Amino acid sequence: MSTHETGRLVLVGAPLGNVADASVRLKTVLHSVNVIAAEDTRRLKRLLSDLEIDTDADIVSYFEGNEQTKTGQLVARLEGGDDIAVITDGGMPSVSDPGYRLVTAAIDVGVPLTAVPGPSAPTTALAVSGLPSDRFIFEGFLPRKSGEASRRLAEVAHQSRTTVFFESPRRIEATLAQLCESFGSQRQAALCREMTKTYEEVRRGTLASLLDGARDDPPRGEITLVVAGWDGPDGSEATPERLAAEVEALEETGLPRKEAMRQVARQYGLKRRDVYEALLSR
């Protein structure tokens, strides 16, 4: 049992694919805790076997589908004195993975928590992308509905910071097509798949070239997409159709038309009348 008055919650950064990336502290924690909450219990057991970790911990399933119902049970065990480790299939818990609900619930009841730092797909992909890494935005997975995804992209299309996305092989072609529309087809990007695994691959080029490549040779496995930031107004991209589409996307978020026109004009270094005339030409 834990020696704490309450138990302690430990977020464990799991290897993305190469088990040799596991730290000594990861092994110690998984050996010593009372409970391991795993996104995929089968993958966890394989990891434990590969790392030759002997544990008497209770292994419980904790993933997106049951996170809401299981959180209360895990908090009760923490309050009862059990130490709990949360581990996902790869990377840090709560970063587009299960864990955030449990973290906030543990904080609410005063349970101490810490993390075992480990691999992170966003920063790993950013480091090898060849794109600026001093400032970046992490957007995770885009919404599944096309309209919601377009609105999200419109919000970040003119950020000067590099943007990092997660995507599945099934949706990558559609997402690259949306990025070409929202960010401009000539924006530089890197498609990183299966990071640290046997078939690791990084495809670099414009969004248009990555889209062509995804059509000709669909990428498989887990994908992290890194897209360069906007480097300032570009008259060749400020077509009437694009300006009007961006105003309409902002309006759909509830922004008044005048404010939407003002924001789009500012993003492209144009006068608001230029944007107004683009709307009239539609």
The answer on pLDDT for 168 being more than 50 is yes
- Quote the CA–CA distance of 188 and 190 in Å, as a whole number: 7
What percent of the residues of the chain are helix, what percent strand, and what percent coil, each to the nearest 5? 45, 20, 40
Is pLDDT above 50 for 1? no
Q: How confident is the model at residue 249 (pLDDT cuts 50, 70, 90)?
A: confident
Task: For the chain, give the longest Cα–Cα distance.
Answer: 71
Give the Å distances, CA to CA, from 70 to 73, 89, 188, 265. 5, 18, 42, 48
Q: Where are the alpha helices (DSSP H) in 80-204?
A: 100-108, 121-129, 146-156, 172-183
More confident residue, 28 or 246: 28
CATH number of 122-227: 3.30.950.10
Report, as an integer, the average pLDDT of 97-103.
94
2's CB contacts (< 8 A; 6+ apart) are: 8, 34, 81, 82, 83
The confidence band for 204, taking pLDDT boundaries of 50, 70 and 90, is: very high
Name the strand (E) or helix (H) holding 141: strand 136-141
In this prediction, residue 235 carries a pLDDT of 52
Please determine, for residue 43, whether its predicted confidence score (pLDDT) is greater than 90: yes
Rounded distance, CA 270 to CA 15, Å?
A: 47
- Determine whether 138 is exposed, middle or buried from the number of CB atoms within 10 Å of its CB (0-12, 13-18, 19+): middle
Give the confidence band of 2 by pLDDT, cuts at 50, 70, 90: very low
Residue length of the chain:
282
Q: Which of 95, 133, 89 is nearest to 115 (CA)?
A: 95
Tell me if 105 sits within 8 A of 75, measured CB to CB.
yes
Distance in angstroms (rounded) separating the CA atoms of residues 104 and 102: 6
Burial readout 11-21 (b: 16 or more C-beta within 10 A, e: otherwise): bbbbbbbeeeb
Query: Domain boundaries in the chain?
Result: 9-119, 122-227, 240-280
Tokens of 30: 């998984």
- For the residues 49-56, what does the mean pLDDT come to? 95
Which of helix, strand or coil describes residue 222? coil
Check whether 233 has a pLDDT greater than 70: no
Q: Strand, helix or coil at 164?
A: strand
Tens of pLDDT, residues 103-129: 999 999 999 999 999 999 999 999 999
Topology, domain 9-119: Cobalt-precorrin-4 Transmethylase; domain 1 (3.40.1010)
- Tokens 């990891």 -> residue: 47
Structure tokens at 22: 């596991």
Q: What is the strand order of the sheet 35-38 is part of?
A: 58-61, 35-38, 84-87, 9-12, 113-116
